């Protein structure tokens, strides 16, 4: 093993450690006090991003509760290299946002479809003109609802009443913001940046709320639960017998690891069959993941892991040979009736124990932990039968409408993300009786 791979788990543990996080937060808070600055955050908002619209509805009350000054930064153009399959994202996001809106008591147009780019630009030009004034939040809501409802007459009326930034000036500003965004350390709009940390979409406001409460802000807990989508309530009627839940999973995805044990627990509770369908990671399918995106994912996964009590942080990246060897043992573990044990053992080893699965010593340890006979298991390492199945899983995931892991599918319902277990539960189970 190279020196770099030997050091990787320890560097990752340092990067994701809660001690480092506390130290960094204290330093930034001391700097804020020294400069006598208010508590302030920047909100990266895009009208044609459904998650931005949901955040924009929540943030005014959130900011008022905590005394947090929130400065909006209007965006439109993004770096396409950061999105592995933007067309599928655009198609999936409206339905996902509508489900989240219903869960949280927010509004988002039903049956919305991605808006026309020309209309998005026109609406954005209107919002840019009012980015710095008190009308921003109400105007953002009105423009967003009209844009996603396809109400061109309403958009025209809003632009006429409120004015627009000149098109050439708006384009230049939006292009400059696109170029700066990745340099600032992030890539997703609908994101709040506060004191060195990023909070994407409603499902991360719970982390920020706890951070602000620890500083003595708010005069009490934030009353709304914007972490509700992450948790299955386990109080719904049992689904019909024979219900199956497909779970598209990657050994290199920290979010797949965070979802794995909870997915088994959900399936056990409701008596459904969980079909874990491994796929190769994006970078092994020719897609790139920029450094800013990798760093955000690891640090975000670390705080989500702490929230759910999942061990995380001593990481040895399995990309390449390591992933292939884990995949090669998948059919053997399945044949032995130990697939669940193998998936959990391998994922924990990679993401919390720093085990190098590219080598025999590490792989053998995890195989034994899963109750597999290593002498028999190792014979499967030269068998490539898993590749055809992994490709079939990938194609099935794409056909269903998703591009990456973790993705859950039951029947025609598709849910993407480890922070959507409430939506997975709803998709699995019959509606609750109103009586």
* CATH architecture, range 231-428: 3-Layer(aba) Sandwich (3.40)
Predicted confidence at residue 184, as pLDDT, reads 82
pLDDT of residue 306: 97
Protein fold of 38-228: Glutaredoxin (3.40.30)
Q: The tokens of 340 are what?
A: 């669940």
Amino acid 420: pLDDT: 98
Model-level pTM?
0.95
38-228 with 231-428: one CATH topology?
yes
pLDDT given for residue 284 in this prediction = 66
Residue 1: predicted pLDDT: 64
Q: What is the mean pLDDT of each run of 10 residues along the chain (435 residues)?
A: 82 94 97 97 97 97 97 91 82 95 94 94 97 94 96 96 97 94 85 96 96 94 91 94 97 97 98 97 68 88 98 96 97 98 98 97 98 98 94 96 96 96 95 63
Spans of all domains in the chain: 38-228, 231-428
Q: What is the pLDDT of residue 286?
A: 58
């Amino acid at each position: 093993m190279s020196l770099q791979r030997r050091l990787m788990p320890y560097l990752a543990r340092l990067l994701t450690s809660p001690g480092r996080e506390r130290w960094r937060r204290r330093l930034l808070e001391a700097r804020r006090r020294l400069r006598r600055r208010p508590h302030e955050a920047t909100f990266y908002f895009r009208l044609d991003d459904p998650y931005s619209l949901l955040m924009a509805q929540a943030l005014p009350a959130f900011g008022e509760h905590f005394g947090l000054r929130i400065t909006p930064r209007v965006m439109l153009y993004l770096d396409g290299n950061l999105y592995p399959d933007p067309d599928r994202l655009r198609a999936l996001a409206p339905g996902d946002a509508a489900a989240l809106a219903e869960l949280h008591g927010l509004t988002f147009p039903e049956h919305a479809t991605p808006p026309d780019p020309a209309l998005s630009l026109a609406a954005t030009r209107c919002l840019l003109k009012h980015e710095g004034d008190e009308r921003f939040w109400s105007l953002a809501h009105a423009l967003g609802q009209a844009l996603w409802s396809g109400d061109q007459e309403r958009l025209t009326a809003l632009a006429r009443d409120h004015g627009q930034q000149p098109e050439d000036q708006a384009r230049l500003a939006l292009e400059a913001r696109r170029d700066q965004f990745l340099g600032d350390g992030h890539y997703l709009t609908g994101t709040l940046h506060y004191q060195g940390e990023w909070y994407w979409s409603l499902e991360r406001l719970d982390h920020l709320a706890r951070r602000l409460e620890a500083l003595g802000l708010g005069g009490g807990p934030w009353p709304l639960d914007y972490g509700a989508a992450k948790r299955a309530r386990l109080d719904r009627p049992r689904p019909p017998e024979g219900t199956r839940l497909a779970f598209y999973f990657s050994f290199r995805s920290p979010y797949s690891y965070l979802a794995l044990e909870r997915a088994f627990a959900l399936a056990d509770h409701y008596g459904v069959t969980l079909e874990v369908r491994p796929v190769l990671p994006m970078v092994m399918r020719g897609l790139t993941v920029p450094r800013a995106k990798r760093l955000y994912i690891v640090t975000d996964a670390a705080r989500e892991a702490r929230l759910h009590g999942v061990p995380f942080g001593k990481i040895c990246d399995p990309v390449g040979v390591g992933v292939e060897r884990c995949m090669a043992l998948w059919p053997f573990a399945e044949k032995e009736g130990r697939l669940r044990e193998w998936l959990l053992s391998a994922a924990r080893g990679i993401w919390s124990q720093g085990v190098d699965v590219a080598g025999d010593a590490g792989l053998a340890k995890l195989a034994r932990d899963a109750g597999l006979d290593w002498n028999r298991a190792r014979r499967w390492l030269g068998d490539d039968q898993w590749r055809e199945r992994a490709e079939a899983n990938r194609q099935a995931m794409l056909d269903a409408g998703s591009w990456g892991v973790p993705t859950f599918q039951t029947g025609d319902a598709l849910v993407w993300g480890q922070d959507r277990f409430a939506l997975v539960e709803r998709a699995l189970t019959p509606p609750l009786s109103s009586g």
